[in-house]
Amino acid sequence: MALLPAAERCQKQVSSAGYWHSRQCYSRFSLTREGVRYCKVHDPVRVQEKRDAQYAEYEAKWAKEREGMRRRRAESKACEGISTKALEEGVVKEMVKAAKSALSAIRRMERTLEEDEHLISVAMHLATVLAKAEEE
Protein backbone atom coordinates (compact mmCIF):
# COMPACT_ATOMS: atom_id res chain seq x y z
CA MET A 1 0.00 0.00 0.00
CA ALA A 2 1.45 3.33 -1.04
CA LEU A 3 1.14 6.27 1.30
CA LEU A 4 -1.07 9.05 -0.03
CA PRO A 5 0.58 12.44 -0.47
CA ALA A 6 0.03 14.76 2.53
CA ALA A 7 -2.16 17.07 0.44
CA GLU A 8 -4.67 14.23 -0.11
CA ARG A 9 -4.82 13.06 3.51
CA CYS A 10 -6.83 14.09 6.55
CA GLN A 11 -4.96 16.80 8.47
CA LYS A 12 -5.81 15.44 11.92
CA GLN A 13 -2.78 14.59 14.06
CA VAL A 14 -3.11 11.13 15.62
CA SER A 15 -0.93 9.36 18.15
CA SER A 16 1.75 7.10 16.86
CA ALA A 17 4.06 4.77 18.80
CA GLY A 18 2.60 5.74 22.14
CA TYR A 19 1.54 9.08 23.58
CA TRP A 20 4.72 11.02 22.83
CA HIS A 21 4.65 10.89 19.06
CA SER A 22 2.01 12.00 16.59
CA ARG A 23 1.62 11.87 12.86
CA GLN A 24 -0.84 12.98 10.23
CA CYS A 25 -3.79 10.62 9.67
CA TYR A 26 -3.20 8.24 6.73
CA SER A 27 -6.84 8.34 5.48
CA ARG A 28 -7.89 10.23 2.36
CA PHE A 29 -9.77 13.41 3.24
CA SER A 30 -13.45 13.41 2.32
CA LEU A 31 -14.55 16.87 3.42
CA THR A 32 -13.23 20.27 4.36
CA ARG A 33 -14.38 22.29 7.36
CA GLU A 34 -13.13 25.85 7.75
CA GLY A 35 -10.28 25.15 5.38
CA VAL A 36 -9.08 22.00 7.19
CA ARG A 37 -9.22 18.61 5.49
CA TYR A 38 -10.83 15.72 7.44
CA CYS A 39 -11.65 12.08 6.82
CA LYS A 40 -15.04 10.77 7.99
CA VAL A 41 -13.50 9.42 11.21
CA HIS A 42 -12.00 12.75 12.28
CA ASP A 43 -14.73 15.11 11.05
CA PRO A 44 -15.32 17.38 14.10
CA VAL A 45 -19.08 17.52 13.51
CA ARG A 46 -19.41 13.71 13.40
CA VAL A 47 -17.07 13.36 16.39
CA GLN A 48 -19.21 15.81 18.40
CA GLU A 49 -22.45 14.07 17.36
CA LYS A 50 -21.00 10.73 18.46
CA ARG A 51 -19.90 12.19 21.81
CA ASP A 52 -23.31 13.78 22.32
CA ALA A 53 -25.06 10.48 21.60
CA GLN A 54 -22.74 8.61 23.98
CA TYR A 55 -23.29 11.22 26.69
CA ALA A 56 -27.08 11.08 26.25
CA GLU A 57 -26.92 7.29 26.58
CA TYR A 58 -24.75 7.64 29.69
CA GLU A 59 -27.12 10.20 31.23
CA ALA A 60 -30.18 8.02 30.53
CA LYS A 61 -28.50 5.00 32.09
CA TRP A 62 -27.46 6.88 35.23
CA ALA A 63 -30.77 8.71 35.57
CA LYS A 64 -32.44 5.29 35.67
CA GLU A 65 -29.84 4.05 38.17
CA ARG A 66 -30.27 7.14 40.39
CA GLU A 67 -34.05 6.66 40.35
CA GLY A 68 -33.58 3.01 41.37
CA MET A 69 -31.30 4.02 44.26
CA ARG A 70 -33.79 6.70 45.32
CA ARG A 71 -36.60 4.14 45.29
CA ARG A 72 -34.59 1.59 47.29
CA ARG A 73 -33.82 4.24 49.94
CA ALA A 74 -37.49 5.19 50.10
CA GLU A 75 -38.55 1.54 50.37
CA SER A 76 -36.05 0.96 53.14
CA LYS A 77 -37.24 4.02 55.03
CA ALA A 78 -40.92 3.14 54.55
CA CYS A 79 -40.43 -0.44 55.78
CA GLU A 80 -38.35 0.43 58.82
CA GLY A 81 -39.56 -1.57 61.80
CA ILE A 82 -41.46 -4.15 59.74
CA SER A 83 -40.00 -7.64 59.66
CA THR A 84 -38.82 -9.16 56.39
CA LYS A 85 -41.29 -12.01 56.79
CA ALA A 86 -44.18 -9.57 57.15
CA LEU A 87 -43.01 -7.66 54.07
CA GLU A 88 -42.81 -10.89 52.08
CA GLU A 89 -46.36 -11.70 53.10
CA GLY A 90 -47.64 -8.34 51.80
CA VAL A 91 -48.33 -6.58 55.08
CA VAL A 92 -47.86 -3.09 53.60
CA LYS A 93 -50.57 -3.67 51.02
CA GLU A 94 -52.82 -5.03 53.77
CA MET A 95 -52.12 -1.96 55.93
CA VAL A 96 -53.13 0.37 53.09
CA LYS A 97 -56.30 -1.66 52.55
CA ALA A 98 -57.07 -1.54 56.30
CA ALA A 99 -56.46 2.21 56.39
CA LYS A 100 -58.86 2.71 53.47
CA SER A 101 -61.50 0.68 55.28
CA ALA A 102 -60.98 2.64 58.49
CA LEU A 103 -61.29 5.96 56.67
CA SER A 104 -64.44 4.76 54.95
CA ALA A 105 -65.92 3.64 58.27
CA ILE A 106 -65.08 6.94 59.94
CA ARG A 107 -66.77 8.85 57.13
CA ARG A 108 -69.91 6.68 57.38
CA MET A 109 -70.31 7.02 61.13
CA GLU A 110 -73.73 8.29 62.10
CA ARG A 111 -72.59 10.91 64.58
CA THR A 112 -71.33 14.13 63.08
CA LEU A 113 -67.60 14.49 62.81
CA GLU A 114 -67.81 18.07 64.10
CA GLU A 115 -68.46 16.70 67.59
CA ASP A 116 -65.15 14.82 67.82
CA GLU A 117 -62.03 16.81 66.86
CA HIS A 118 -59.75 13.79 67.41
CA LEU A 119 -61.79 11.72 64.98
CA ILE A 120 -61.60 14.55 62.46
CA SER A 121 -57.79 14.72 62.75
CA VAL A 122 -57.48 10.93 62.42
CA ALA A 123 -59.65 10.97 59.30
CA MET A 124 -57.64 13.82 57.79
CA HIS A 125 -54.37 12.07 58.60
CA LEU A 126 -55.57 8.80 57.07
CA ALA A 127 -56.76 10.62 53.94
CA THR A 128 -53.39 12.40 53.58
CA VAL A 129 -51.34 9.24 54.10
CA LEU A 130 -53.47 7.24 51.66
CA ALA A 131 -53.19 9.98 49.04
CA LYS A 132 -49.40 9.88 49.38
CA ALA A 133 -49.38 6.07 49.16
CA GLU A 134 -51.39 6.11 45.94
CA GLU A 135 -49.18 8.72 44.20
CA GLU A 136 -46.90 7.55 41.42
For residue 134, what pLDDT is reported?
A: 63
Do 119 and 74 fall into the same domain? no
Is residue 74 one of the residues assigned to a domain?
yes
DSSP-derived letter for residue 82 is S
pLDDT value of position 117: 73
pLDDT of residue 114: 61
Q: Say if residue 93 is in the same domain as residue 128.
A: yes
Task: Give one DSSP letter per residue of 36-59, joined into a string.
Answer: EEE-TTT-HHHHHHHHHHHHHHHH
Per-residue pLDDT tens, the chain, 136 aa: give them: 578 888 899 999 988 776 778 889 999 999 999 999 999 999 999 999 999 999 999 999 999 999 999 999 998 888 888 888 888 888 888 888 888 888 777 777 755 556 677 777 777 787 787 777 666 4
Shared domain check, 52 and 23: no
Reported as half-sphere exposure (CB side, CA atoms, 13 A), residue 10 has a value of: 17
How many degrees, rounded to 5, is the angle at CA 89 between CA 87 and CA 93?
A: 70
Predicted local confidence at residue 20, as pLDDT: 78
Q: Indicate whether 51 and 68 sit together in one domain.
A: yes
Domain extent, residue 69, equals 43-78
Q: Which of 28, 60, 78 is the last residue of a domain?
A: 78
Amino acid at 51: R
